Structure 1
């Protein structure tokens, strides 16, 4: 990506400004997401504040920032998974007002400062949009505009200048400056760590540009022409919101793409974004198709360099199949929900296992009473086939087969010289029939 200087009418004039590194942690990477952690760094003082969001963090944000929302009773809290402690938070409006108060103090402490310039470092512009979107909800944009004159992206500046700065060396320097009690914040997912890194990277570039003659970036002209004014970012945010509204109009076409795998979802997001950035919506594309049919769609999509050449014909076919009532709409195969495999034991059912433990391995030896004929006599099960866990020691059951047995052998007992003859007791069980 080629980065050029900002147009003269969109940048700030030369002067003395207060540079402050800034970064945020959010619940996601969308404009409608919320701020969770707001951090700002200046050499003399730092601002570090956690915010309790209304929505929960998505899985990617939880993994990167090591934060998650917990509920204790009726209260929602923000918990750090590294320290396993609850983080002290404020509401979003209170945190933003506190941040503006802190910026006013930094500007007043810097003599003859004409305003504050916020420094961030990221490949894709995201931080200015999220800050302005949060400030707009509480009518704090005007107060913010009086304090902050613009933003500067250190990543874009390094690309434009072709600076071969060693980012890893600066990152290790930033880690070394952290206090021992702040070691849990010494990772890339923490906003304070990235705010420090953005400031020191820009300061190192300023020193390299001046051959070490300047001590900081305040007196450096390196960033001149690369600072976007706040009004430019506000206009870009308005265009971004309009682009999102245009993307929503394409939902009927690509709704099935989001029910499949990641490959088709990513392709659908790219198609919607490019069409919306070019100013098209569903109604305008339908008018083009009604006028020139498929050739009209091919003409406009062939000029979209943001889409790969092999994917342009696919997008034309998708749109043409949607607008043409005689064609079947092209949709990717939906992802089937895999059924849970039923576990079948190779050793048989639990009832059969109990029989095998007692030496009865033949499954056909005994039939279930429901499978027998109505005229057959059904014998009660032998007590040996019962599970030992179901027997009671205090009240042991006696089966009918045991009752059929005659107690014929009783040992004789001698008492002195008298011999007591054995006694025979015969008990016959009644027959049990099934009508």
Structure 2
């Protein structure tokens, strides 16, 4: 805050720049101990908890790990473009293709890849007696929960918890350390600003290395006499660097608790499927807005049965009372819209709210315009021909008789010529013993 030197004499203090939004660290943190930092990343088929991992990559200056996984489901279009990979069906086999190199990659099953990943972590643990901290960089953290769910599905969660202490998101670390210099803290921006590199971050291998290097660079800023030659275990085991990352590390136990809470939230949210079923079939903006409204109800511990019982007691007023008292983080417009959706669903005399009809402007209208234009042109042509036909009708009537006479004379001449020709053919001498029937020609 600085004082504004205004000639009008006002003594109010005005900020030269808008105040920065304070970053809120949601990680639980871990206790002091001997840890080792390893950068890691994963390519997935989507961002949901039921989606699968396509690639796991980890990076240290001494060793790297990378392995592709063949998922059971298909990769969503957004993540197919983001990671530049897609599934190709060759006969009865499914193969994973890297669109950057246009080559098929070597894939393994999920359980085999996870077991090898744990083995690699155990080999590279070094002297870290308390475990490994996996460093990743994501705006919306999803891959820790997906990795833990995959480990639990194959019975490898206990073995994994013995090696890994927790997950550290370098996005939160960057947001707290670089809040005064940059506005966005994505991995691409941090790599360009801190590391002066513009690499292609579509692969998990590149993101794992970039996440590790960003954390190392932020650790160097904490100590001036830190050795800047190379990036070996001396930096990783540095006590000051570990103390800097510990508050931003979420232990595995805390991640598992968040997964349990998230599953409860999903179950509560899925109770509103019959209410928002039609809206979820609309356009992408309508689906996103309906999903937001449904999620706001679930986050405030409101499910379908609560809304149903409130409507049975006092109809629309009961629904309005629940939205006012329990769902307080909604805007006024959203509350009115949500009240209308719930009221129209529970009231049998009203029609449920339906999505807007899809309108393809660049496809159907163009076809309709061309068809209508062609019809108009044909209509004009027919009208022009009709007018011309009316004008020349008298002339055609006067000349029809003469044309008929000329055609009759020509036909008679042709018949005569044909008859003469046939007669000449019959008068030709024929060899003995051959009899030819006489040809008869009828006009």
TM-score (normalizing by structure 1): 0.73
Within the candidate set 349, 355, 358, 1:335 is matched to: 358
Partner-residue secondary structure (3-state), 1:280: coil
Rounded Cα–Cα distance in structure 1 between residues aligned with 2:196 and 2:416: 94
Residue 96 (structure 1) shift = 0.6
Residue 162 (structure 1) shift = 4.6
Rounded Cα–Cα distance in structure 2 between residues aligned with 1:90 and 1:323: 50
Rounded Cα–Cα distance in structure 2 between residues aligned with 1:429 and 1:245: 94
Rounded Cα–Cα distance in structure 2 between residues aligned with 1:240 and 1:137: 17
Rounded Cα–Cα distance in structure 2 between residues aligned with 1:255 and 1:213: 58
Residue 320 (structure 1) shift = 1.8
2:93 aligned residue: 75
Rounded Cα–Cα distance in structure 2 between residues aligned with 1:404 and 1:97: 102
1:240-262 deviation line (CA, Å, top 9, x unaligned): 12222222211111111122212
Residue 195 (structure 1) shift = 1.1
Within the candidate set 217, 221, 236, 1:208 is matched to: 221
Decide whether the 8 Å contact of 2:49 with 2:145 is kept in 1: yes
Residue 93 (structure 1) shift = 0.8
1:270-299 deviation line (CA, Å, top 9, x unaligned): 011121222222112212333343333333
Rounded Cα–Cα distance in structure 1 between residues aligned with 2:259 and 2:329: 21
Residue 176 (structure 1) shift = 6.3
Decide whether the 8 Å contact of 1:6 with 1:225 is kept in 2: no
Rounded Cα–Cα distance in structure 2 between residues aligned with 1:147 and 1:269: 38
Residue 428 (structure 1) shift = 7.7
2:77 aligned residue: 59
Asked if residue 47 in structure 1 is aligned to residue 65 in structure 2, the reply is yes
- How many equivalent residue pairs? 358
Decide whether the 8 Å contact of 1:69 with 1:78 is kept in 2: yes
TM-score (normalizing by structure 2): 0.72
Asked if residue 317 in structure 1 is aligned to residue 340 in structure 2, the reply is yes
2:406 aligned residue: none
2:191 aligned residue: 170
1:117 aligned residue: 133
Within the candidate set 243, 248, 252, 2:274 is matched to: 252
CA 22–308 in structure 1, closer or farther in 2 if over 3 Å, else same: farther
Unaligned runs of 5+ in 1: 178-185, 349-360, 366-401, 411-421
1:73-112 residue pairs with structure 2 within 5 A? 73-107=91-125, 110-112=126-128
Bigger shift: residues 316-325 or 47-56: 316-325
1:184-206 deviation line (CA, Å, top 9, x unaligned): xx522211111111111111111
1:129 aligned residue: 145
Decide whether the 8 Å contact of 1:406 with 1:425 is kept in 2: no
2:318 aligned residue: 296
Bigger shift: residues 151-160 or 165-174: 165-174
Unaligned runs of 5+ in 2: 1-20, 228-233, 376-384, 390-409, 424-438
Rounded Cα–Cα distance in structure 1 between residues aligned with 2:43 and 2:411: 80
Rounded Cα–Cα distance in structure 2 between residues aligned with 1:37 and 1:147: 20
